[in-house]
Structure 1
Amino acid sequence: MTGRTVLLATPYFPPDTGGVEQYTWELARQLRARHGYRVVVAATVGDRGCGAGRYHGQDGLVVHRLPAPLRISRTRLGTGWRAALRTLIREERVDLVNAHAPVPLFADAAARACGPLPFVLTYHTGRMRKADPLGSAVCSLYERTLLAGTVRRAGELICSSDHVRADLARLFAGRAVTVSPGVDLARFTASPVPGEPRILFAGSLERATSYKGLADLLRVLPELAVRVPGVSLEVVGNGSAAAGYQRQAHRLGIGHLVRFTGRLGGSELAAAYRRARVLALPTHYDSFPSVLVEAMASGRPVVSTRVGGIPSLVTEDGDGLLTDPGDLPALASALTAVLTDDALARRLGAAGRRRTAAELSWERQADRTTEVFERALAGRRRRGVAVVAPYFRPKIGGVENYAARIAGALGADPDSRPAVITTNTTGRRTTVRVEDGVPVVRLGTWVRLSNTPLNPLWLLQLPYWLRRLDIDVVSAHAPVPGLADLAMALGGARPAVLTYHAGSMAKGRPGVDRLIGGYERLLLPRLFGRAGALVAVSPVSLAAGHRGALRIPPGVDTELFTPGPPAAERPPTVLYVGRMDLTSAWKGVPVLLRAFALLADLPQARLRLVGDGDARPELHAEAARLGLADRVEFTGVLTGPALVAELQRAAVLVLPSLSPAESFGMTLIEAMACATPVVGSRVGGIPHVVDDGATGLLVAPGDERELAAACRRLLTDPGTAERLGAAGRRHVVEHYAWPGLTDRYLELFRALSPG
C-alpha cells in the first residue's frame, strides 16, 4: 500500500460518458482499492449538472471540477487552468500527475503545472481527424507543437492501444507502453448466446462520432430482414444525432425493427449485452473501443471493422468477424453468418470471454499502470536501446533476423525501451512505424553501391533520431558499411555494442575488392576499437580475432521450428532458403541448379527455392536452360509458419555458398531445428555450424558433382537422413536456442548503461 497521492487530470469524467471517462473512472477505483493510492481527480465541469468546485465522489475519490466556459466541437476550453492545477497539486499534496489526452489544452496545462513532480501522460487515440480540412490542420499543428512539448515533459508515456503508438509514431516512438482499456469481469459476465436474432449497437450518437458506423448498420438492416426472419436492432446511446438516426430508420422502412433505448450504464448496459446475439460496430475509425471488450467479456460475438486498434483486439474468425469499413455487402454477410449459425456464434463468444478474462481485466490493467507510476516515482527510467541495422524485416537474411531477435528481447524486458533504426529499401523518404510493438525508423536511401545503401542526410538524421528516441545504448550491426559506422560515430557519449556478422566482404571483382580491402584494413579496426563491446557471430567473423571480442552466434526459435515427419515420409524435395540478389551471387544458387540437374535419375525429386531478389529472372532462365523448368519451383519469400512448414517437409536443405562472406548460415540451424538434414559448403562459418557426417554433410564450394552426390545420399538413404536430422535438432537445442543468446545481450546493455 503506497499511501501516495496521484492526480488524474482528465478533461472528462463521470457522470459524463465516453471511453476516456470510463478509463479514468475504473483506473481511479483500482488504484485506490487495489494499490492503496489516494486518488484525486481534476476534470472540467460536466454536461450532467457538475459545476465547478471540489467534490467527494464515490469510493473515496476527491474530484475537482474546473470551469470551462467555452466549447469548440466537444473540446471544453477555459482560462486559468494551469494556475488552478498548480494550486490543487500543492493543496492536495500530490506526488504524481497522470494527465489524459488527446482533448487539447487540459493535459498540456497539467504538464506545465506539475513542476518537478513525476508526470505521466496517457494518450487515448491516434491522430485527431476532423471532417473539415481546417479543423484537421489545426489539430495537426497542435500535435506538432503544444502536444509535442507535453510529450517531452513526460517521464513516462502510456498509450491506450498499439494503434495509438503506431499512428503517432513520430511523437511516441520508443518511449510509450500500451495499457489498453479493461473490463469489469464481475459486471460483464458470460451467458449462453440467445437464439433471438437481436443485434446490439452501443456507442455515442453525437454528430462528431458519426464515424462509429450506425448509419451503415441501418442501411444493411433491410437486407438482413429478408435473410434473417425476426431480426432486430437495439441502439444504446444518445447524442445530438439521435433524432437523425431515428428518421433514417423510418425512411428505410425499418423503424419497427429498431429500438433506441438511450444511454445505459452499469447493470442495465450489461443486461443489454446479454439480450443481444451479436454486437455490431461498423466503425470507420477507432482506437480501442470499450464496447467490443464489454461484449466479448459478456460472451457475445462481435462484428466490426479492420481499422485502428480493432484488429489487435479482435482476432478475425477467432473471437469475432471483421470487414472493411463501408463495405455494406460484407457487413451484411458477416452479421447473417453470426445470426444464423449457432455453432459459430457460440465459438466466437466463448473465445472472446477467454481473451478478456486472460488479458483485459481492469485489475490487470491497473497493475500495469501502477508499474509505470512506481517507476516514475522512483525516478527510474527504462534503458533506451537502438538496434541499428542496414536491413530489417520483412527483408530476409541472417542480419535481419538477428537484429529482430534482439529488438524482441528488449521489448520483453521491463527495464528496456527498444527502437530499430534501419534503411528504407523502397524509397528516399524516412518512415516511422510500430511493428510488433517496437518503433521502426526506416531512413531514406538515395543511392546504393553494390549491396550498400547510402544517404548523406544520415549525418543529420541519425543524431536526431537517437535524441528523439531518448537512446542510451546503440546496438549496431555490420558488415554493410555506412549505417552502423555512422551510428557509432554520431552517437556521442552513448556506449555501443557492435555486432559483426561476416568475414571479408570481398566480391571477387578486383576494383570493388580493393575498396573493400582498404575499408577492412584501415577503417574497420577503428570501428572495432570504438565499441564498448564487440560481438562476433562466428569464428570467421572479422571481429573474432579482435582482442576482447565476444562470440554470440545467431539462434533459432526451437518452439516454432520443430521436427517434421520422419525422413522416410517426406517427399524428395531439395530446399534452398536465402537471397537471390545479383550482389549475393556468392550464395551459389547456380551451382545448386547444376547439381540438381545431375539428379535426372531421380525424376520425382523437386528443387524449391525460397526467397527473392533481382537475380531471380536469371535463375529462372538457368533452370530452363538446364531442362529443369518443370522440376524447380520458386516460392518467393516465406516467413513464420509457412517457412517452418517448408523446412519440415523438405528431405534436405542446401546452403551452397562460395565465399567466406557466409560467416554462419542462419537457414542451416532453422532446418536442423526441424530435424531436416543439411548440406553446406566447406567455406566461411558453415563448418563451425555443421559437423560433417555427424549433424550434416559438407561439400567443396562450387563442386556441383560433390553437392549432387550429397543430395542423392540423403534423398535415397532415409536412415542416414533420419540420423543426421535428429542429431542436428539436438545440437541446435543445446547451442542455438534464442533465449540464452539474447539474455547475454541484455546483460551487455545493463553493464554499459546501468541506469
Structure 2
Amino acid sequence: MTVSSVLIATPAFPPGPGGAARYADGLAQVLRARHGLRVVVATAAGPDAPAGVHDRPDGIRVHRIAVPAAPASGAAHWLRGMRHIVAEEAVDVVDVHAGAPLLAGAAARACADTPFVLTYHGGPATGAVRAAYDRTVLAATAYRAQEAVCSCECVAAALPALVAARATTIAPGVDPGDFPRRPPAPAPQILFAGPRSGTAGFDGLAEVLRAAGRLARTVPEVRVEVSGRAATAAERARRARRARSGHGLVVPARPAAGTPAEAYGRARVVVVSAGHDEYAAVLAEAAACGRPVVVLHPGGAAPRTSGGHLWHLAAGDAAGLVAVLDRALGGDVPAGGHSGDAAPDTAWERQADRTAAVLERALDRGRRRTLAVVSPYYPPNVGGAENYAQRIAHAAAGEPGFRAAVITSNTAGRRTSVEGGDVPVVRLGTWARLSNTPVSPLWPFQVRLWLRRLGADAVNAHAPVPGLGDLAVLLSGPRPTVLTYHSGSMRKGRGHLDAVIGLYERHILPRVFRRACALAPVSPVSLASGRPHATQITPGVDLDRFTPGPPPSARARTLLYVGRMERASAWKGVDVLVRAFALLGDRPGTRLRLVGGGDAVPDHKALAERLGVGDRVDFAGELFGDDLVGAVQGAAAFVLPSLSEAECHPIALMEAMACGTPVVGSDVGGIAYIVSPGVTGLLAPPGDAEALAGACRRVLDESGLGDRLGAAARAWAVERYPWPVLTGRYVALLRALLSADHADRCHRSGHGRRGSQPRSPAMAPRRASNAGLALPSALRRP
C-alpha cells in the first residue's frame, strides 16, 4: 500500500505571510505535480482568506477553519474542524506542521487512527514558556507521530527528546527563479534577516549592530540592512539608534527595499536568529543566492557545525560575531550554496521526494504495533535482565509490523532523559535505591504518561526486582501485557527485610501476576512459573560472540566468578567461594578471579587476606565486550556459588558454557535446571565450601574431565540457548496477544481482576517443549 493522498495541516498558508506558509504551499504544489498525490490543506482562516472550502486551479483543496483569538477556545475549535476534515477527506497520511502552539497538538489528536508526520519548523526553545511548551504539549504530540521532519540538523540536535529515532532533516525548498545565485556584493553590507511574520526573532539585532559599530573602525563603509515584518520597523530603528556608534546604518522604516532575493544580493553576509520559525528558510534562500550565513542561537550553546559558509554562534558571543563578520565582509568566508550546487533548480523536487518517502514510512509505521519494553535496568548496565530486555526490544523492532521503545530507570540521577536510535530509550529519573531496587515517587505518573506518548499497543514488563516492571503491568490499562519474571524468592536472609519481601511476595506479586495477560518466567524456580497463563522462555546466549577458547586443560589454572558483589546480594555466595578457594591452597599456581563490582568488594578482599590467599585472588572489576569474553575463554572453570532460589536463571553461567568453559555451581535455583551433573558441569550443595572446593579440585585435577565438560556445555548451549530462536518464540507470543480475537478475550475475561486468565493458543506447545530448559533429573528438586 502506497500513499495516494495527504492532508497538510498548517496554521499558516498563502495568502498569509511567513516561511511556514511558503513551505507548506511549495510542498503541496510539488507533491501534487511531481508525485500525483491528492493534496488537501487544512489551515486557519484570516482577513484575506475567509473560512470555507476552496479548490485551487492547481488541484489542491484548501479547508480554512475560523479560529477564535483565545488560545484555549481556538485549539478546541481547530480540533473540531480538523476531525471533520479528516473524516470527510479520508486521506492516507496527515502532515501536521507545528507552528502555532496548541494547534499542532489538536491536529494530531484529530488524526485518530490515521498515521501522521510532525513537521517542526521552530528552532530550539528560547525562554521558559517555550521550553515548557516543548517538554509538555509538543512532546506529547511528537511521541504520537509515526515520523518527524525538522527543517535543519541543528533543530533535530536540539530536540532529541521530541524526535528521537523518527527525525528526518529536510531543508525548505527554494525556487531558483525567485532566488538566483548572485555575484559578490560590491559593498560590505550585513543583512539581518528577521521574520516576515510575527515579532520573535529580532533578539540578535542589537548584537549585530554593536558588532558593526566595532567593525566600523576598520571597515568604515560597513552597513547593516534589516529585513522582516514591517510592523516592527519602529522598534528596529530605536535599537539601531542606540547601537549606532557613530557610523552610518541602513535601517529602513519598512522591510528592506525590493524582494528578499534583492536584499540578499546587496549583502556580503546574512545574519539570522534561530529563535523563530522561518530561519531555516533563510538558510536555504541565502545559500541559493550564494551568501554565507551566521546563525545566532538565543537559547544556549550553539551546535558544533560551524565552518564553511554556515556559522553557528551562541547569543552573547560578541567576540566571535565580530570575528566572523570581519572575515565575511573581507571575502574570507566562502560563498554559500546548496549541497547540490550543480542542480539548484531541483530544490523543491528534492524536498518533495524526501517528504514523500517520509509519508510512505509513516504509513508503514501506522500499520505497525508498538511494544513498550519496561525494565528497571537496561544497558549500558550489565546484567541478565538488562540483556534480556534489550534482546526482546531489538527483536521486536526488527519484525515486520512491529516497532519497539524502552522505558527504564536513569541510574545516574533524577532527571528523565531520552535516547534515539532504532529503539528509543526513555530513562526515568531515580530518586533513591532500596537495597538493589531503584525507586521514584513520580514513576506511577511517568509510566502512564510515557506509555501514552509512545503509543504503546502492548507492554513487555521485566521484573528482576520489585518496582518499575510491576508498575508497568498495573498501569498498562487495556493494553495486552507480558510480564517477564526473572526471580525466585527475593528473601535475603535478613530478618526485617525478609518480612517486607515476604509481604510483597504473598500479597502484591500475585495481583501483578493476575493482571498480566501472559507470564514469561525465565526458569521453573521463578515465582511466576506453573501458573495457568505462564510460558517459560529462558534468556539466550550470543553464540557468535561467546565462542570456545582453548581446551580447558590448556588454560591457566584460574577459577572465574562473574556477577554482583554487593552486601544486598549476599545470596550470590562469593564469600563461600573465597572460603572454598582457600581450601585449594595445596594446588600451586591456582588463582581465583572475581569479575564485577559492588560495595561488598572490600569485605571479600579482607576475607581473602584473613584466609591467607589475598595474593592469589584477583579483583578485576567490571569487564565488558571482548575483555569479558577473553576472561571466560581463559578460565579453567567458571564457578557460581549462589545460596538461594533468587538465582533464577544466570546468564553468566550460560555464557561460560557457550565458551566451552567447565562450570561448577550450587545445586540451587535455576542453576540446577541448566547444569546436568557430570555431563555439562558439576554441582555442590549451596553454602558448603568444602563440597565446592572438592568440585573445583576435580575439574582442575582429573585428566580430561574439564575438556569433556566444556565440550558438552558448548553443545548444550548451542542446542538450547540461541537468542534468535528464543526471541522468535517471544515475538510469536506477542503476536498472539496482539491478535484482535485474543485482545478481545483478554478484555472480556476480566483482565486485571481476580479470576481465570486468557491463554494464548501459542502457549501450550511451548510449555510442552519447556522452552529451552533442561528437564529436572532425579538429583534435582522437581
The alignment's TM-score, normalised by the length of structure 1, stands at 0.63
Corresponding residue SS for 2:725: helix
Deviation string for 1:684-740 (max 9, x for gaps)?
110211111211222222222332333334345573323222221221121111122
Q: 1:402 is aligned with what amino acid?
A: Y
Would the aligned equivalents of 2:115 and 2:363 in 1 still touch at CA under 8 Å? no
Match of 1:209 among 295, 311, 319: 295
Equivalent residue, structure 2, for 1:419: 405
Structure 2: any 5+ residue segments left out of the alignment?
Answer: 14-19, 44-53, 63-77, 173-286, 345-349, 741-782
Cα gap change, 1:614/1:205 in structure 2, threshold over 3 Å: closer, same or farther?
Answer: farther
Kindly state the Cα deviation for residue 682 of structure 1 after the two structures are TM-superposed.
0.8
Kindly state the Cα deviation for residue 667 of structure 1 after the two structures are TM-superposed.
0.5
Equivalent residue, structure 2, for 1:597: 582
Deviation string for 1:445-500 (max 9, x for gaps)?
44544334444443333333333333232222235223333332233323321222
RMSD between superposed Cα atoms in Å: 5.7
Corresponding residue SS for 1:634: strand
Equivalent residue, structure 2, for 1:478: 463
Kindly state the Cα deviation for residue 644 of structure 1 after the two structures are TM-superposed.
2.0
Mapped to 2, the partners of 1:362 and 1:740 lie a distance apart of 42
In the alignment, structure 1 residue 147 sits paired with structure 2 residue 133: no
Would the aligned equivalents of 2:40 and 2:61 in 1 still touch at CA under 8 Å? no
Q: 2:368 is aligned with what amino acid?
A: R
Cα gap change, 1:716/1:651 in structure 2, threshold over 3 Å: closer, same or farther?
Answer: same
Mapped to 2, the partners of 1:674 and 1:520 lie a distance apart of 36
Equivalent residue, structure 2, for 1:262: 335
Equivalent residue, structure 2, for 1:4: 4
Cα gap change, 1:557/1:628 in structure 2, threshold over 3 Å: closer, same or farther?
Answer: same
Would the aligned equivalents of 2:416 and 2:427 in 1 still touch at CA under 8 Å? yes
Kindly state the Cα deviation for residue 657 of structure 1 after the two structures are TM-superposed.
0.7
Equivalent residue, structure 2, for 1:374: 363
Mapped to 1, the partners of 2:553 and 2:151 lie a distance apart of 51
Mapped to 2, the partners of 1:692 and 1:180 lie a distance apart of 65
Match of 2:423 among 431, 438, 443: 438
Equivalent residue, structure 1, for 2:567: 582
Equivalent residue, structure 2, for 1:685: 670
Corresponding residue SS for 2:520: strand
Kindly state the Cα deviation for residue 403 of structure 1 after the two structures are TM-superposed.
1.9
Cα gap change, 1:556/1:431 in structure 2, threshold over 3 Å: closer, same or farther?
Answer: same
Equivalent residue, structure 1, for 2:278: none
Q: 1:263 is aligned with what amino acid?
A: G
In the alignment, structure 1 residue 499 sits paired with structure 2 residue 572: no
Corresponding residue SS for 1:151: helix
Kindly state the Cα deviation for residue 747 of structure 1 after the two structures are TM-superposed.
2.3
Cα gap change, 1:250/1:739 in structure 2, threshold over 3 Å: closer, same or farther?
Answer: closer
Greater Cα offset, 705-714 or 576-585: 705-714
Kindly state the Cα deviation for residue 63 of structure 1 after the two structures are TM-superposed.
11
Corresponding residue SS for 2:696: helix
Match of 1:552 among 529, 533, 537: 537
Kindly state the Cα deviation for residue 262 of structure 1 after the two structures are TM-superposed.
2.0
Mapped to 2, the partners of 1:240 and 1:748 lie a distance apart of 52
Would the aligned equivalents of 1:101 and 1:122 in 2 still touch at CA under 8 Å? yes
Would the aligned equivalents of 1:165 and 1:434 in 2 still touch at CA under 8 Å? no
Equivalent residue, structure 1, for 2:124: 128
Deviation string for 1:29-86 (max 9, x for gaps)?
998999875679999xxxxxxxxxx9x9xxxxx79999xxxxxxxxxxxxxxx99x99
Cα gap change, 1:641/1:102 in structure 2, threshold over 3 Å: closer, same or farther?
Answer: farther
Would the aligned equivalents of 1:205 and 1:240 in 2 still touch at CA under 8 Å? no
Equivalent residue, structure 2, for 1:388: 374
Mapped to 1, the partners of 2:659 and 2:29 lie a distance apart of 50
Would the aligned equivalents of 2:93 and 2:362 in 1 still touch at CA under 8 Å? no
Q: 2:91 is aligned with what amino acid?
A: D
Mapped to 2, the partners of 1:546 and 1:152 lie a distance apart of 36
Would the aligned equivalents of 1:382 and 1:416 in 2 still touch at CA under 8 Å? yes
Would the aligned equivalents of 2:680 and 2:709 in 1 still touch at CA under 8 Å? yes
Cα gap change, 1:112/1:754 in structure 2, threshold over 3 Å: closer, same or farther?
Answer: closer
Match of 2:591 among 576, 601, 606: 606
Mapped to 2, the partners of 1:251 and 1:499 lie a distance apart of 57
Mapped to 2, the partners of 1:240 and 1:436 lie a distance apart of 28
Greater Cα offset, 615-624 or 631-640: 631-640
Mapping of residues 187-198 of structure 1, within 5 Å: none
Mapped to 2, the partners of 1:64 and 1:106 lie a distance apart of 25
Mapping of residues 532-543 of structure 1, within 5 Å: 532-543=517-528
Mapped to 1, the partners of 2:513 and 2:105 lie a distance apart of 48
Mapped to 2, the partners of 1:395 and 1:600 lie a distance apart of 35
Greater Cα radius of gyration, structure 1 or 2 = 2
Would the aligned equivalents of 1:42 and 1:64 in 2 still touch at CA under 8 Å? no
Q: 1:663 is aligned with what amino acid?
A: C
Cα gap change, 1:601/1:503 in structure 2, threshold over 3 Å: closer, same or farther?
Answer: same
Mapped to 1, the partners of 2:351 and 2:707 lie a distance apart of 51
Q: 1:121 is aligned with what amino acid?
A: V
Would the aligned equivalents of 1:495 and 1:531 in 2 still touch at CA under 8 Å? yes
Kindly state the Cα deviation for residue 553 of structure 1 after the two structures are TM-superposed.
0.8
Equivalent residue, structure 2, for 1:571: 556
Structure 1: any 5+ residue segments left out of the alignment?
Answer: 14-19, 44-53, 57-61, 67-81, 131-135, 182-200, 222-234, 272-360
For these two proteins, the number of residue pairs brought into alignment is 594
Mapped to 2, the partners of 1:239 and 1:446 lie a distance apart of 37
Deviation string for 1:387-436 (max 9, x for gaps)?
23333333332222222222222232343343333334444x24122265
Mapped to 1, the partners of 2:708 and 2:485 lie a distance apart of 33
Would the aligned equivalents of 1:393 and 1:401 in 2 still touch at CA under 8 Å? yes
Deviation string for 1:499-534 (max 9, x for gaps)?
222222222233333333333333333332222111
Q: 2:377 is aligned with what amino acid?
A: Y
Cα gap change, 1:649/1:753 in structure 2, threshold over 3 Å: closer, same or farther?
Answer: same
Would the aligned equivalents of 2:667 and 2:683 in 1 still touch at CA under 8 Å? yes
Mapped to 2, the partners of 1:484 and 1:107 lie a distance apart of 35
The alignment's TM-score, normalised by the length of structure 2, stands at 0.61
% same residue: 49
Mapped to 2, the partners of 1:439 and 1:537 lie a distance apart of 25
Mapped to 2, the partners of 1:449 and 1:238 lie a distance apart of 49
Cα gap change, 1:157/1:444 in structure 2, threshold over 3 Å: closer, same or farther?
Answer: same
Corresponding residue SS for 1:684: coil
Cα gap change, 1:125/1:401 in structure 2, threshold over 3 Å: closer, same or farther?
Answer: farther
Mapped to 1, the partners of 2:322 and 2:157 lie a distance apart of 37
Deviation string for 1:591-623 (max 9, x for gaps)?
111222233344433322211111112122222
Equivalent residue, structure 1, for 2:654: 669
